[in-house]
Amino acid sequence: MSSNLYHEHRPTQVKSIDNQYSVAPKVARENNMQSFRFHGFKVPPTADYLESRKIILTNSDCNIILAAPTESQKDYFYKNTDADELIFVHRGSGKLRTHMGNLDFKYGDYLLVPRGIIYKMDFDTDDNRLFIVESYRPIYTPKRYRNWFGQLLEHSPFCERDIRRPQELETYDEKGDFLIKIKKQDDIFDMVYATHPFDVVGYDGYNYPYAFSIHDFEPITGRIHQPPPVHQTFETDAFVVCSFVPRLYDYHPQSIPAPYNHSNIDSDEVLYYVDGDFMSRNDIDAGHISLHPAGIPHGPHPGATERSIGQVKTDELAVMVDTFKPLKVTEEAMKIADGDYFKSWLE
Ligand SMILES: [Fe+2]
């Protein structure tokens, strides 16, 4: 996908490159075979948006990030040159400003920012919690929900009407010093431009940031257990993102609503718990992340299967990221890790 942007000024006018510093994740566990639970809300609130972003899990395809920024970006713009960013808003609201227009966001929104988009996050309050996937592979909606022309099919869990495009294109015909913090290869470059980066008067094309609310995801249910692909929301060639939303449980008269034990042979499984009651887990709260590595089975905690019998619906809200390559656990993750979680299935 591409877009042609029409600028007031040449977008090439670099004045200086003032700083270069690394934001590479520090890996604590290179090879990991341990299931983990992380207390996401223990990530400390931090004023600056970029500094607030803590990489929890990482591999060569993506970074899984938690952030609790308390202030809007005031004096700089940001651009990620080699990764698409999927920003899930768990707490907070505000406006994502980009050079292709603005997107209002609130609780439950996925913001998809393709690489190369210059943006600024404006928050309404200081209470913000974001779950971000930074992806070196392009992020698309699932191909199997689209026809040959790209139209979403009728059995897709969302449709074009649910996808919010940028509004209120802000165009500033200004000269001066404009700092864009540009991320490339795990480094941030502080680049000062001579013209305002939001100087676009219009564009043609299909490459633009957009928003999609998890609350607009229509779940697919069945008489018997539906496998995770029915929850799929986004795809790349290196991981998938799924949305678990309030829905009816399996309604066969003999169904057991809790999932069965399963061993992912082809992906590490990350679940970010957003809201509701997480039936198959004991002692899981909003903001927690579970990591179940590929190759060993996991499933309901003791008692959860029995507890689920006879229940007809769930109010759970969760985001799952299944990565095809194993994830490395970072030092930031170990600060919020529950070291005994891997023993939580013992009877
Ligand atoms: Fe699983």
pLDDT given at position 285? 87
Cα–Cα distance, 58 to 151 (Å, whole number) = 33
Cα(339) to centroid(ligand 1), Å = 19
Written as one letter, the residue type at 103 is L
Q: How far is the CA of 57 from the centre of ligand 1 (A)?
A: 17
263 CA to middle of ligand 1, Å?
A: 8
Sequence-separated (6 or more) residues with CB below 8 Å from residue 252: 223, 224
Model's pTM, two decimal places? 0.97
Written as tens digits, the pLDDT of the chain (347 aa) is 899 999 999 999 999 999 999 999 999 999 999 999 999 999 999 999 999 999 999 999 999 999 999 999 999 999 999 999 999 999 999 999 999 999 999 999 999 999 999 999 999 999 999 999 999 999 999 999 999 999 999 999 999 999 999 999 999 999 999 999 999 999 999 999 999 999 999 999 999 999 999 999 999 999 999 988 999 999 999 999 999 999 999 999 999 998 899 999 999 999 999 998 776 677 788 999 999 999 999 999 999 999 999 999 999 999 999 999 999 999 999 999 998 999 999 99
For the four alpha carbons of 195, 75, 108 and 260, in that order, the dihedral sign comes to positive
Q: Output the CA 298–ligand 1 centroid distance in Å.
A: 6
- With the CA atoms of 301, 238, 132 and 280 taken in that order, what torsion angle do they form, in degrees rounded to the nearest 10? -10
The answer for residues whose C-beta is within 8 angstroms of residue 83's C-beta and 6 or more apart is 62, 63, 115, 134, 135, 136, 183
Distance CA 96, CA 100 (A): 11
Q: What is the pLDDT of residue 321?
A: 98
Residue ranges of alpha helices (H) inside 33-160 are: 49-52
Contact (Cβ atoms closer than 8 angstroms) between residue 7 and residue 196: no
User: Cα(102)–Cα(287) distance, rounded to whole angstroms?
Assistant: 27
Quote the ligand 1 centre to 271 CA distance (angstroms).
Answer: 8
Kindly report the number of other CB atoms within 10 A of residue 343's CB atom: 9
Q: How far is the CA of 260 from the centre of ligand 1 (A)?
A: 9
Q: Ligand 1 centre and the CA of 313: distance in Å?
A: 19
Residue 98 — φ and ψ, nearest 5°?
-135, 170
Q: How many CB atoms lie within 10 A of CB 238?
A: 18
Separation CA 312–CA 250 (nearest Å): 8
| Ligand 1 centroid from CA 65, angstroms | 20
Give the C-alpha distances (Å, rounded to integers) separating 307 from 156, 237, 295, 312, 344.
31, 37, 27, 12, 17
pLDDT of residue 256: 93
What is the distance in A from the centroid of ligand 1 to the CA of 123? 34
Q: Looking at residue 60, what is its pLDDT?
A: 98
Q: How far is the CA of 315 from the centre of ligand 1 (A)?
A: 18
Q: How far is the CA of 284 from the centre of ligand 1 (A)?
A: 15
262 CA distance to ligand 1 centroid (A)? 6
SS (H, E, C) 187-255: EEEEEEEEECCCCEEEEEECCCCEEEEHHHCCCCCCCCCCCHHHHEEEECCCEEEEEECCEECCCCCCC
- In the numeric block, which tokens belong to residue 337? 């890790």
∠ CA 162-166-167, nearest 5°, is 110
Distance 220 CA to ligand 1 centre (A): 18
